[in-house]
Amino acid sequence: MTISDKTRKKLWANSGNQCAICKRALIEQATGKDNEAIVGDECHIVSRGTIGPRAGEISSDLVDNDDNLILLCKVHHKLIDDQVNTYTVDKIKAIKTQHEEMVRAKLYNSTYPKLKIISLPGEKDFKINLIESGKDLLNVVGGCHAGKYDYEDPCNTDEMELIAGFLQEAQDYGELFNDMEVGDRVRASYRLNELLSNIREQGFVVYAGRLKQLFEVNGDKSHWHVAIVQVLRITNKSIWNPEVLEKILAEKGNAG
């Protein structure tokens, strides 16, 4: 057997192109007319065959697996092979694990910035309003940086499909808004209006609003608009305007 390309790529990626012991980079950059130089080795912790450092401590079919490989510079490759009493299988695997965890932690910290949300004056008094047209809903979700979409638990499959389809289309139109031409926005408003009618016929109403928040990412501050959309049953006591609720119930009764 030999080390597969997939295993080799995984080893180099998990090791961050560094020796697991001394942390030196194992690919030297090209200079002038010369190509880059690979100064690292893909080292077996347990050797192949019946002789060699730590040979025979695992079955032969596992020798070329990632768990039995460690990336080292040539100096430390020589060291662990010569000093087998010091560098046992358990010790080398511990070095490998510690190094790869360090690489993952470093990558995570550099890839994902620290995010802080800062409350703005008046945010506590923010309220969402009853949405009565597709245009009103599009004006809420359109071009927002983020969205919070909430709903009451559906009681059956039909309600589940109704709510899921409505919220998904509302979110999709919000994300596409900035790329829409005027005509596309008219069509989107019309479609959302149809969905709102379907929602209301099934005993639900939609409340929504656009919240402005201050985000701080690695010290840089910027304002984000967040769409808040809720699908509530008409009978939900959390609906803030009783007069509107009575009007909706009356309309629904007349329609029935």
pLDDT of 187 reads: 95
pLDDT of 256 reads: 46
Q: Is 161 exposed, middle or buried (0-12, 13-18, 19+ CB in 10 A)?
A: exposed
pLDDT of 37 reads: 77
C-beta pairs of 189-193 under 8 Å, 24+ apart in sequence? 189/133, 189/134, 189/135, 189/137, 189/138, 190/134, 191/134, 192/134, 192/135, 192/137, 192/138, 193/133, 193/134, 193/135
pLDDT of 253 reads: 53
pLDDT of 196 reads: 95
Least confident of 32-36, 38-42, 103-107, 178-182: 32-36
- Rounded Cα–Cα distance for residues 163 and 203 (Å): 11
How does pLDDT run across 84-127, given as a tens digit for each residue? 999 999 999 999 999 999 988 877 665 555 656 666 666 667 78
Question: Taking a C-beta distance cutoff of 8 angstroms, is the pair 7, 14 a contact?
Answer: no
Task: Calculate mean pLDDT across residues 34-40.
Answer: 79
Task: Calculate mean pLDDT across residues 191-208.
Answer: 93
Q: How confident is the model at residue 147 (pLDDT cuts 50, 70, 90)?
A: confident
- Rounded Cα–Cα distance for residues 240 and 81 (Å): 74
CA-atom Rg of the chain in angstroms: 30
Is the pTM here over 0.75, yes or no?
Answer: no
Q: Assess whether pLDDT exceeds 70 at residue 74.
A: yes
pLDDT of 110 reads: 54
Q: Assess whether pLDDT exceeds 60 at residue 254.
A: no
Q: How confident is the model at residue 219 (pLDDT cuts 50, 70, 90)?
A: low
How does pLDDT run across 148-175, given as a tens digit for each residue? 899 989 999 999 999 999 999 999 998 8
Task: Calculate mean pLDDT across residues 193-208.
Answer: 93
